[in-house]
């Protein structure tokens, strides 16, 4: 089961802009593996910006989907999978 979150988070990235860890609910979560990544262009008629999505697994085996507004914008936790 998954839950939509859509909250800003602080993300630490590598030199290529891929997430290494993120902070949510006052806890830091280290990313063990990037399971998938993709780009979405957004709906131009809604003035949405493009987004880079990353589905990740943390060291505690939890799965999350993060995205970053492009170019170089804020990071968001989009979804948590239980």
Domain positions in the chain are 2-81
Give me the pLDDT at residue 1, please.
82
Instruction: Give the mean pLDDT of the chain.
Output: 94
CA 50, chain centre distance (Å):
13
- Per-residue pLDDT tens digits for 36-55: 999 999 888 999 899 999 99
Do the beta carbons of residue 52 and residue 76 sit within 8 Å?
no
Do the beta carbons of residue 11 and residue 67 sit within 8 Å?
no
- Per-residue pLDDT tens digits for 62-76: 999 999 999 889 999
d(CA 67, CA 5): 12
Q: What does R_g of the chain's alpha carbons equal in angstroms?
A: 12
This prediction has a pTM of 0.91
């Amino acid at each position: 089961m998954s839950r939509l979150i859509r909250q800003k988070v602080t993300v630490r990235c590598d030199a290529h802009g891929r997430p290494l860890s993120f902070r949510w609910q006052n806890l830091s979560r280290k990313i063990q593996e990037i399971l998938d990544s993709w780009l979405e262009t957004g709906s131009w008629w809604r003035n949405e910006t493009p987004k880079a999505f990353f589905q990740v697994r943390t060291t505690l085996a939890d799965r999350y989907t993060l995205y970053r507004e492009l170019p170089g914008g804020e990071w968001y936790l989009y979804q948590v999978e239980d």
